[in-house]
Amino acid sequence: MNTPLSHIRLLDLTHMLSGPYAGMILADLGCDTVKVEPPGTGEGTRRLLEDDPNNSIKGMGAYFFTLNRNKRSVAIDLKSDEGRKYFFELVKVADVVLDNFAAGVTSRLGVDHKALTSINPGIISCTVSGFGESGPNFKRPAFDQIVQGLGGGMSITGSGPEDAVRAGIPIGDLAGGMFAVMGIQAALLSKAQTGEGQHIDISMLDCQISLLNYMATMYSMSGDIPTPIGNSHFVHTPYNTFNTADDQIIIAVIGDKFWPAVVELLGIEELDTPKFDTAKARLAEKSFIEGRIGDVLIKETADHWLMELEKARIPCARVNNMAQALSDPQVQFRNMVVELEHPEGGTANVPGNPIKFSETNDENFTSPPLLGVHTKEVFREWTDMTDEQITAGIQAGFIAGGD
């Protein structure tokens, strides 16, 4: 495979969303990604939606189906001493071990960074958790909406001060996964220079604070606590969603250069005045300006207005629903919707890989694995263990899987 990370071996101990998402990205980038799961039950999301006929294929729900493409599965009992011995055979030749266990779990299992380095001194390990591995509250349980709430972003999302809402996509989990990928790649570059591995501690809450970016700086400068303002903007006007005769559209006037074109296109007499020529002046009368624009836009369809707005080179877009977003020609052209097969038959479309390379550009998406189906294969490829040793482990229940 012509992919940038095809020389990297990754042991993926993750479950649910943040960790599996990081593992999926790394697998898409070419890592030989081996998902380590408990025998019998497998990773938790194997069961999620399994009985939902609309959101599963052959008992594999949308969560697991999406997040575990390009991975192989081995089943190992990490709670047993003998199971860990088998796991450590893989650690010996791995480059990265990724998990998103709750605080303290890797230590209790005996697979924390200290234990891993005793087996492989150059290993890179990464843990994604709600609050990291230090601090006064790091042992608290956390899920996506918990960190969205604590991280401040939820307080500025919604239609008003009494209507804070979480982001529609699970940005708390997904951001943890994305920052984990960045950390792992940085550690791999460092190891290439120094020969030394290290541990990466990713806090989902830290990631949410990072995403506040300039909004946090504005608060520290002004002392003003921001509140939700819907889809409008605190500097630019008009910058909002607007109803048309069918779909909602967005008009985004940044600065002053687009404003004259808006006035000319919409022909609203009250807005055709020099007093609205600057962004500051328009912001002072945002409700009036955007209300008058809305009165005009509602008279025609989204297609009509988007064509006219694009012709006038005014920044605009439709507020796409899921079907519209996934069928967008730009999205389709960029191979951002790909067909994924279930290993036992059946397919579904899933989001593609947004990272595009000019040279190492192979894109191949293999089926999410059945539980433990690659156990023998991986131990044969990665270790010097004999078939007899592998079979003995399977018979004893320390590992599980087929040929």
- Sign for the CA dihedral angle at 154, 160, 163, 166 comes to negative
**Whose structure tokens read 């005014």?**
314
**Whose structure tokens read 């380095």?**
117
- Rounded to an integer, what distance in angstroms lies between the CA atom of residue 95 and that of residue 116? 11
Q: Which two tokens stand for residue 330?
A: 């730009």
Q: Which two tokens stand for residue 317?
A: 């877009």
Backbone angles phi, psi at 400, to 5 degrees: -150, 150
- Rounded to an integer, what distance in angstroms lies between the CA atom of residue 275 and that of residue 247? 31
Catalytic residues: 173
Q: Which two tokens stand for residue 221?
A: 């400068």
- Rounded to an integer, what distance in angstroms lies between the CA atom of residue 210 and that of residue 192? 27
Q: Which residue stretches of 30-170 are H helix? A: 62-67, 81-91, 105-109, 113-119, 144-150
Cβ atoms < 10 Å from Cβ of 309: 22
Q: Which two tokens stand for residue 394?
A: 């399977």
- Rounded to an integer, what distance in angstroms lies between the CA atom of residue 75 and that of residue 36? 6
**Whose structure tokens read 């985004």?**
252
Question: SS3 of 327, please?
Answer: coil
Q: Strands of 21-109 (E only): list them.
A: 32-37, 56-57, 60-61, 71-76, 96-99
Cβ atoms < 10 Å from Cβ of 371: 21
- Rounded to an integer, what distance in angstroms lies between the CA atom of residue 385 and that of residue 351? 38
Parallel, antiparallel, or unpaired for β 337-341 and 32-37? unpaired
SS3 per-residue string spanning 291-314: HHHHHHHCCCCHHHHHHHHHHCCC
